Amino acid sequence: MNAIGYVRISKKDQSKWSLDSQEKYIREYCARNRVNIVAMFIDDGKKSYTFDRPDYLALEKFIKQHKGLAQYLVILDHDRFSRNLPEALMKIEQLERKHDLKVISTDEPINLDTQDPMVFMQRAFKYMMANHELITIRKRARIGLRQAKESGRFVNQAPFGYKNGRDATGKSLITVDETKAFIIQKIFRDYLSGIPHYLIFQSVKALGFTPTGRDAIVRALNNAAYAGLVRINADKKNPERIIKGLHEAIIPESQFWRAQQLLDKNKRKEKVQRREDFPLRGILRCPCGTRMTAGFSKGKKNYYLYYRCLKHDHINIPGRVIHPQLDELIKHMSLNQKQLDTISERSMFSLKGAQAIRTKQIEVKKKELKDLHTKIERLEERIMNEEIESETYKKYFRKYQQEKALISEEISYLSESVHDKLAEQLKVLPSLLDLSVIFEKANLNQKHAFLGTVFKHGLSYKDGAFRTPHLHPAFCHNMLKLNKKGLLFVEQPSADSDRIPCCAEEGTRTPTPRGARS
């Protein structure tokens, strides 16, 4: 009598049996029962829920090519065969019916009658328990993953610009890859400057940007990790949240949110045509969190503008009410002269330090560039002396050229005058004394950019007043005045400002229990 052995272990398997141990017990079982092993198939690191495994597929191919050679397929235990109850029973039936091959585990007698109803029940129970264990393992993994994210830990494969590593306690922690981080900074800087996606992609690809696809730049812009943040996806009980991460940021958080605003604007352009009549379209949210749409409703004599929630028919906000209140809100959010003077003084004070830092950075980059030229010269010498193959030369020459382009780009950026940029920015400061004038003259895109920056998580309107979970810190000095006038209420403490508010079914705010933490 002949048998085929099969062993399996997954990457995250919690079985106590190694591949060697499984093979050892299978061979000892066959020896005790005087069965000759004609082949042994091993799936290392393969999942138990599917039979789409390289060595199992090779096993089935072997069975078809050598039909009748073996009478048994021996496994250590049934959970090594599969943890998928219906698929496992179906596979066992197919092997016995088509190939006359009996599936036996090492804890079953070799002469087991697999047609016995009790045997079927026992096996079904084993696979059911294995299936239950798999579901439990997955649940524990999901909980552990969420807990790690809630602690601020980025747990997935490090995105471009970062490297996977470990902290002092041995837990995973991504670290900045200094040779690639500048490419990410360039992507955000160029996008916020108005450069189209395809042009950004062409320029950074030449610098060594490896992600591919038409949406590669958009994926990078949407990745909160670059701003030192961690995105926690929504589940059945909790809304999506973005919290401060433990890893170092590559770009300022403000740049990330500005990019999100521009991305949202581009999405809305595709779905909804903007109109000057609806300045709050795409910004205003229902208390349930849904973006409100806008349109005109016919009255007795005229058409009237309303903002509506698609999920709650009873929530309709008249434009003739909310638009004047928006103008009044903007009017009372202007900065005062004392704040402008403080900004100017602090900016000028930090200018010298910033310029000194840039000078040192340029020196470091120039030294790196010089070292790189030396490497290129040595590489050319080695190919001329036939010390290396042409493929090796091409590989490293391409790598050095990419590094050279990257460093040159950094030097060019660092060489730009900080003083000139600051001087241009300070010229507009007096205008901030009356934001209402600026807002009135701005086009629709500029209005949306301003509102999206000041109210990072949008605005809602309830009980005759605007409400928001987050107000930009630059305008927090106006909070008391805005609250007193009934123009704006910040419904969430600034310390928890990154949490997206959740609401009940009817769109009303669900209060967070006192002492509860996100």
**DSSP secondary structure string, 62-121?**
HHHHTTTT-SEEEES-HHHH-S-HHHHHHHHHHHHHHH--EEEETTS-TT--TTSHHHHH
Alpha helices in 291-336 (DSSP H): 319-331
Are 8 and 133 members of one domain? yes
Q: How many domains does the chain have?
A: 3
Q: How do beta strands 2-9 and 36-44 pair?
A: parallel
Q: The CATH number of the domain where 39 resides is what?
A: 3.40.50.1390
Q: Which residues pair with 4 in a beta bridge?
A: 39, 73
> Does some domain include residue 297?
no
Q: 241 has which bridge partners?
A: 232, 499
- From its phi and psi, is residue 68 left (phi > 0), alpha (psi between -120 and 50) or beta? left
Instruction: Tell me: do 8 and 66 sit in the same domain.
Output: yes
In-domain check, residue 461: no
Query: Does some domain include residue 357?
Result: yes
3-state secondary structure of 311: coil
* 129 lies in the same domain as 174: no
Q: 132 and 182 share a domain?
A: no
Is the same domain home to 22 and 141?
A: yes
Q: What is the pLDDT of residue 237?
A: 63
- Contact criterion met (CB below 8 Å) for 76 and 17: yes
pLDDT tens-digit series, residues 35-82: 999 999 998 877 766 788 888 899 889 999 998 899 999 988 887 787
Do both 262 and 367 map to the same domain?
no
- In a shared domain, residues 419 and 359: yes
Same domain, 140 and 166: no
Residue carrying structure tokens 């597929």: 57
Do 109 and 230 belong to one domain? no
Write the CA distances from 172 to 19, 43, 149, 157, 347, integer angstroms. Answer: 27, 27, 11, 10, 38
- Reading the chain (518 residues) residue by residue, the pLDDT tens digits are 899 999 988 765 555 678 888 899 899 999 999 999 999 999 887 776 678 888 889 988 999 999 889 999 998 888 778 777 778 778 888 888 888 898 888 888 888 887 777 877 777 777 777 677 767 766 776 677 777 777 788 888 899 999 998 888 888 889 999 899 999 999 999 898 888 888 899 889 989 999 998 889 999 999 999 998 888 877 666 666 778 888 899 998 888 888 887 887 665 444 444 466 778 877 888 877 788 888 887 777 777 888 888 887 778 888 888 889 888 888 887 777 777 777 777 767 776 677 777 788 888 889 988 998 899 889 888 888 888 887 888 788 878 877 887 788 788 877 776 666 666 666 666 766 677 777 887 777 778 778 878 887 788 888 888 888 888 887 877 788 888 888 888 875 444 434 333 333 333 333 444 444 43
| Same domain flag for 218 and 353 | no
Domain boundary among 431, 451, 481: 431
Q: Are 308 and 294 in contact (CB under 8 A)?
A: yes
CB 332 within 8 A of CB 481: yes
Q: Is residue 288 domain-resident?
A: no
Residues 386 and 260 in one domain: no
Residue 174, domain CATH: 3.90.1750.20
Last residue in a domain, options 218, 235, 269:
269
Best CA proximity match to 95, nearest among 59, 41, 130: 59
Torsion of CA 214, 216, 221, 226, to 10 degrees: 180
Residue 102 lies in a domain: yes
Report yes or no on 139 lying in a domain: yes
Same domain, 9 and 139: yes
- Domain assignment of residue 241, given as a range: 162-269
Is 493 among the domain residues? no
Asked whether residue 487 is assigned to any structural domain, the reply reads no
Domain boundary among 269, 297, 320: 269
